[in-house]
Every structure is written in structure tokens, then in C-alpha cells.
Amino acid sequence: MKKIIIIVFLALFVASCSTKQDKISTGTVKNSSTGITQTGAVSTETEDKTILYDKNLKEMQTNKKLENGDVVAFMKTTKGQIEIFLETKKAPITSANFIGLAKKGYYNGTTFHRVIKDFMIQGGDPLGNGTGGESIYGKKFKDEFDKDLKNNTYTISMANSGANTNGSQFFINVNNNNYLDFKHSVFGEVIGGRENVLNISKVKTGAGDKPEKEVKIISIEIKKYEDGKFVDYPFDEKKVVDDYNKAQEESKNSPIKSGDKVSVHYKGTFENGQTFDDSYSRGTPISFTVGAGQMISGFDEAVVGMKVGEKKSITLPPEKAYGKRDENQKQIIKKADLKEFTDAGIKLEKGAKLPTQLGELEIIDTNEETVTIDINHPMAGKTLKFDIEIVSKD
């Protein structure tokens, strides 16, 4: 049976094509099959390693009023210099990873291996094909979200292959890609050299969105802003990693809060006791980020404050589940647009049930050319009961 994740019902049954991506991937990107690595095309751009700290200071101060203690990454690329303000307070774990890798020269010589115009530029993979990378923590590290950090234009965010699989790969948004919020961890913003980011986003690309001519990161230096100057930023990687591991261990025994990634077993029943969904029988718990809108609101709220191993039974009224039934929730669709159903042997007649990602939707009226569909969620108006058990928390 389907997960009880809320699904937005757009353009009923008709799939639309989009040039945007729903995820910035690592490890599963299509271009990994090409075998292209950093040893491919040779860049004809300059590889001058000189970083000018005051070069874009006016632009930086315009885009972000720098304060004492702010941390800025100076990234020198073959397309020019880029300055990135790092969110060391709102995204300390992710920022520390980037800082640690940059300070040890991990990114030096790597490329922007995936570029999509009007979307983003992706880099940070030493293999140059989207399958490589590691973190300073010695393993993939957890997502880190803050309600104020959005995947807006010129923000820098972590690429991943799923929840809590962050390594070294990152991307810079060249558009407002807010549908990626709470999926990809934002940890900074480009405040200088924005024209260079745009220039990279417009390069000619080939298979797998890989630039035909390499765009390379020459070096990255991390500086702290103090009294109008950029000074060295001290970084104790061992302490950062030790603190991270200690916090992770302590977090396992702490109550669940918004932003935590949890795995939950559950059994869902109607008021008459009939089971409509059961993760126990499937043998696989459901995983989701608390407070990210991935679950019906009552279920989401119920896990807050629980601990790993704890069990709870809850009863959710319609407004906390799939909402009340609305008789005005219906849609008229041309029969010609439902050919996939007729091809499957389903007659487009009153009372017929059409299988969709929402469940079975009922035809409530029909004429020669169109049908009218009840687009209420199949469980709208129902009171639901759940027995839930917290399996794990990341």
C-alpha cells in the first residue's frame, strides 16, 4: 500500500515535462555511465592562483553587510573569482565540512562537472562524474535545515543521493529552486563574483550536462572578516569531528524535534478496525523529515517529543488527516486524455474507479466527450487511527 505522504494533485493524470530537476544527485547521476573524468577536456581558461580579497568587496557589502566574525570562502575558478558567505551559525555542520575540505585543498583542481542553464552549477566531486566525494566526518553526514535558509538564486547547497547522504559535492543555484528546500542543505550564499557564476551556468554542455570545456576550481581559501579586513580563519578539524560524533550519539537518545529525519513503523486503521495500511507487514518502516510537510499533519505532530523505541496510539480527525470532504472538489476531463485507462480496459462510465497515485478516484458523471472526477482524496472525511513506533532517528 502507499505511504501516507501528502501528494499534490496537479494536472490530473497528465504528466508534464520539465527542464528542472527534483533532486541534485550524487552517486546516481546519468552521466556517470559515460566514463568521463577530470582527465577529459582540457580547459583553455587561465589558472592564475592569485586571490584578491578586496576585488569584489563593494559587491560583497552590497549583497551581504558583513559583520566581524563572518566567514567567507574565496573560490578561484578558471572563470573568475567567487566569494561565498558561509552560514556557520545556521548550518554549522555543513559549513564546517566545506571549510575543512577547502582548507586541506580537497577541492583544488576539481571541476563543475554538471551545469544546467537557469538551474544550477554542481561541483565538488574529485572524480568529476557525480559519483565521488567524501566528508571530513569520515562518512556521509546528516542533512541540516533551517527555516530561513532557502534554495534561492546564488545560494550554495549540498548535492546528495537521498536523505542524510552528504559528502563533498555542492551546487550553486542560479534560479529560485525552492522545491529543493528541506531536501538539500543550504549553507551559504554567493555575495561576490555573481557574474562568474552566471557565466559558468551558460557554458556549452554535452552528455550528462557536463561542460564541453572544463570549468575548474583552482583553489579555495577560507577567511574571517574582522574590522574591514579578511584574516585567517582558524579551524580545528579534529575538534569539529569529535563534537559532531558526540552530538550524534547524544541525539539518538533525545526527543524528536522538527527537522529530524526519522524512521517509523505504523499500522493504520479506520474507526471500524479495518486496516488500510501497515508498514509492519511490509517489513519496512517509513522515513521522513519531521515538520517538512511530507506527512499528514496529525501524524507529523504526533512523533514530536517521542524517542527511539517509544510506541503510541493516536486518533486523527479528518482535518488532521486528509481533510474534510468537499463536494465542489471535482474536475472535468476530456475522455481523449484518459486513453491510458481505456487501453487498460477501464470503461469511462459513472461509478468507475480510476487507479492513480492518490488511490482510486471515482467518475461521478459522464457525457459523450468528458467525464467528471471526484478529486477528493479517497480518505477525505475519514477519522484515522494509527499505532506508531519510532525505529530510528538521524
**From 57, 81, 113, 114, the catalytic residue:** 114
**237's torsion region: left (phi>0), alpha (psi -120 to 50) or beta?**
alpha
Is there a catalytic annotation at residue 160?
A: yes
Q: Which residues are bridge partners to 314 per DSSP?
A: 386
Query: How far apart are alpha carbons 369 and 63 in whole angstroms?
Result: 55
Query: How far apart are alpha carbons 56 and 49 in whole angstroms?
Result: 16
Question: Are the C-beta atoms of 223 and 70 separated by less than 8 Å?
Answer: no
Is there a catalytic annotation at residue 145?
A: no
**From 151, 160, 169, 173, the catalytic residue:** 160
- Identity of the residue numbered 305: G
**From 141, 145, 170, 171, the catalytic residue:** 171
**From 184, 194, 265, 377, the catalytic residue:** 184
Contacts of 220 (CB under 8 A, 6+ apart): 73, 74, 75, 76, 102, 107, 108
Instruction: Name the strand (E) or helix (H) holding 201.
Output: helix 194-201
Whole-number Cα distances in Å, 29 to 111, 162, 182, 286: 16, 12, 20, 25
Orientation of helix 92-103 relative to helix 237-251, angle to 10°? 150
**243's torsion region: left (phi>0), alpha (psi -120 to 50) or beta?**
alpha
Q: What are phi and psi of 347, to 5 degrees?
A: -80, 130
**From 85, 98, 112, 119, the catalytic residue:** 119
**From 101, 149, 180, 361, the catalytic residue:** 180
Contacts 24+ apart (CB under 8 A), 172-176: 172/120, 172/121, 172/197, 173/119, 173/120, 174/117, 174/118, 174/119, 174/120, 174/121, 174/198, 174/201, 175/118, 175/119, 175/120, 176/150, 176/151, 176/152
Is there a catalytic annotation at residue 274?
A: no
**222's torsion region: left (phi>0), alpha (psi -120 to 50) or beta?**
beta
Query: Mapping DSSP to helix (H, G, I), strand (E, B) and coil, where does residue 384 land?
Result: strand
Question: Are the C-beta atoms of 36 and 128 separated by less than 8 Å?
Answer: yes
Strands lying side by side in the sheet with 155-158: 114-116, 120-123, 170-173, 155-158, 186-192, 80-86, 71-77, 217-226, 229-232
**From 122, 129, 169, 376, the catalytic residue:** 122
Query: How far apart are alpha carbons 121 and 209 in whole angstroms?
Result: 10
**Which positions are catalytic?**
114, 119, 122, 160, 171, 180, 184
